[in-house]
Structure 1
Amino acid sequence: MEGTENNLLKVLLVDDEPFIRKGLTALIDWEEEGYLIAGEACNGSHAIALLKEQNYDLIISDIRMPGMDGTELAEIVKSGEVSTAKFVFLSGFYEFEYAKSAIQSGCCDYVLKPIQKEELLHILRRIRNEIQKEAGGKRDKRICEKAYLDRNLLALLCGKYDEINLNYVRNRMGLRNEIKYIHVEISSRDDNFSVLPESKKREQHRKLYNYAGLLMKTYADHVMFDVAKLTDCYDIGIIYCNSMAKEKGMSDEEWLSWFLGELKERTGYVIAACAGSTVQQIEDLESSYRDSAMTRFLRFFKNNDEKMNLAAYKKKPTDKNAQEEYYRKELDALVHAIEIGDKIYIKENSGLLYHRMLDKSMDTRLMGMNLQYFLYRLLGLAYEMETGINQEEVMQYMQEAAFAVGSYEFSGRNFQKFAEDYSDYLQQLRQTSVKGMINSIEAEIEQNYADNLSLKTLGEKYYINSAYLGQIFKKQYGCSFKDYLNGVRIRKAAELLLRTEEKVYEIAEKVGYKNLEYFINKFEGIYGVTPTRFRKKTKQSFV
């Protein structure tokens, strides 16, 4: 059984006779049996010192030695204070009674002197199988625990968690303040990686995850595999806390540079990272995760994509020249038009804005800065909607858009088309989001307030339970649907009273009331006077 030094079982030989230790070393092919002689000691005290320096899997010890003998050493090992290694005595026939209690307790095996090769091999193979079986059970348990932890972490990252998820992560990881999510992936711009077949890419993806776990040591649980779940993305996620850097005497930036450098050296590929914003509690990890996701798409405009932080795109530029050519105000206006679906504004201004940015003789960096800000704002529009939005779908859409907007072939006409298409895309997303649904219902009430509107008819139209819709309405506006509808109707009636000379009963019917007395009562309830008095009093104030 051949293996690398990392997976061989480590053996500590303990005997006061050097020739015995050398004889044991030469007696069998230890590596062939899956072992490595990793240390030698002349007595129990010497062995304890070595056990404190590194972990061993097996201790083979003589019984009688000067100073601390084998039985005393076995008792200390049995207590688990310095080691959990298996123990084998080298026992002469007359020494057997001396070690009998330790041997019979089951904590030790023994090999009788003179040592026979076959007997030693038999014991070593049995112990190796025991260790591997125990390790397998522990490994399986660790895998299950890690999978459960990752599931709870993912719930936090997606904002779809409950107290059970929160408490499990809090108790398992003990996360304090100053935490953030860091997206790490093998760069899609690494030519050596991009030409690999899919099976090899997945193999390297797994190696990236394993290397990250080794580098993180006691923080290995903070590494997550394939979090983004995007096509052609081979990523891991890091739940970063500032103690990681502090323990190495580094700043956050220095730690990330060190971490990425180590991963690059071990994998042989360019490693890219996108850090989310720092948050103070684990409940806010979703915000950091979203920032990291947004940053990933903005990265397509940078020549060097190894590290990126979203904070740069949330701040106003400080350089005077950059301020002159940084079209934040104009881009914000275009984003607003896209949000509300103002196709006329988009048509008249988007292409012109694109050409103005180009005509300013902007260099690639400044042009990229404007486009990055634009995409960041657009992605934010989708993320600001309430739950129900498929974030992976939005990411994929924006990834394709980012490539298109950043390409050399892109034109003002295409920029306009992209703005129009994204506006339509947002409208589609709103149909699947609670906030979007409420906005649509609000617009419908504003337009069709005189119709026979009810929670039942609106619920049927928007495929939602009428009782649930009523709850959402109360939460959104602080009043019932009926009170909201009455408020809109009475406001419209007040406008008609001032703008027209129509009779009160005509206005009542026009805004949706068949019962005049009921209309007057509702009007008085809101304005404090009757419709007739309201018209007269208001008109007099303008004379």
Structure 2
Amino acid sequence: MYKVLIVDDEPWVAYGLAHLIDWNANGFEVIGEAHDGVTALQLIIEHVPDVVVSDIRMPGLDGIQLLEKLKQQQLDVEVILVSGYSEFQYAQQALRLGAFDYLLKQVEAEQLLESLQRISERLRTKRETQPGVDLFLHDLFELLEPSNGTTVEQFLQNKGIQHEQPHFRFISCELADASVFPLLAAEQHVQMIRTCQLRTGLNKWAVLINYDEQSSSTHFLDYLSELTEHAQYAGISSRGYGHTKLALLYDESEVACCSAGFYRYGQLMSYKKEELDAKDKKMVLQIELAIKEGDLLAIKALLGEWSDRCSDERIAVDRLTTVYNQFISLLLKYYGNAVRYNDLEHLPYDQLVRFYRSPDEFFSRLEGLFELMNEQEAHVSNDQAKKIIAYIDQRYTEDILLSSLAKQFNLSIGYLSMLVKKETGKTYSEYVTEKRLALAKELLGDQSISIQDIVQRVGYKDYFHFNKLFKKHFGITPSKYRKL
């Protein structure tokens, strides 16, 4: 049953369309009505209909503008526009923008049924060749949380997606830009593997692949090669089965993708479960001893050795993050009040690779943290401190790294982070995050701005990351907050 949203600024016209034909008998279900374009856009984002039947002439956001919004946000919805004879040129413009069809008022039942029959065929073909591509970000947020216990098989059954092969893998892909992800379930692959594509961010997609590793390994490798041609970085999970947790496979593919981007090495990395080894544990103990002895040279030497090993072995970012957080704990443990103004916080792996975009930047930052604990505070005037905070306030929606800010004001990274905490009572990342989220709350009050647009406006690129931060700070997702 395909879902339909009817949009017309005249309620009685919308009601008439909803009762013009027997929708259910023809494989469609009317899930609601909207009487303006802004409300229609929000309902489309929230309920993901397959088809929208909309009037062209509406106040606020008309049918053409609604179609443009759908195209901009890459919302895969089939649109039938309804127009009068005098609006024919608008209908032509709509078709150029990707509308499926237009119908002239007053709409006849036969015309509507004929258009729906053709749409039904298109939707059926689309689902058979590329199931799941119409899933949107907010539908997946809870589903892909690590604590979610939904299995791969349960997910596919809930979405009505057929699967025949025993093995599953997730592939996470980061694109160079926000272009539409290619539909790659080509005919040579369809008989041997099935795919379900999920958009997981502004420029990120994940693909769940169902295949038989023994009988279709060649087809799988061919598809993988074709897929990664369109990705800047990609990560592939370990092999899973129907009873495997969906979120587990997704997280593995994300770790691998983040690792590929962090090291800037190759295009595709495979997930490999990595625990801290004996060398990692010994190095942490040696650094703790050096901290006790105040031996900064020994700490730098140990960090240099670990940096070389990380680059040589391509240590996965989740393992790297575990060691990093142990260092943060050591700094908090041994320096106590001395770090009260410092930008010290434990991080998950996805935030770590956002803050430190390369191994060089990561280890430079670590070294700076240890240096800070061994140097006297430099003197910065109150006026200079205010200029720094004012600079951040003016540009907090931009992607400004702490290292870039330190260079701008000719300060060490460690001292600058301490200064920000002293002036604001928050770490640099906390301060920027709170200002961004405060702006996001304000923008959510404007129904004409989509949540995806808001994510970009406040300085984020990843919808999932923004959603997690918003829920963590306010206890509710952005889409639910907007409904309050």
* TM-score strictly above 0.5: no
Q: Tell me which protein shows more helix as a share of its residues.
A: 1
Query: If the TM-score is normalised by the length of the shorter chain, which range does it land in?
Result: 0.3 to 0.5
- TM-score of the pair, normalised by structure 2: 0.38
- TM-score of the pair, normalised by structure 1: 0.34
Give 1 or 2 for the bigger CA radius of gyration. Answer: 1
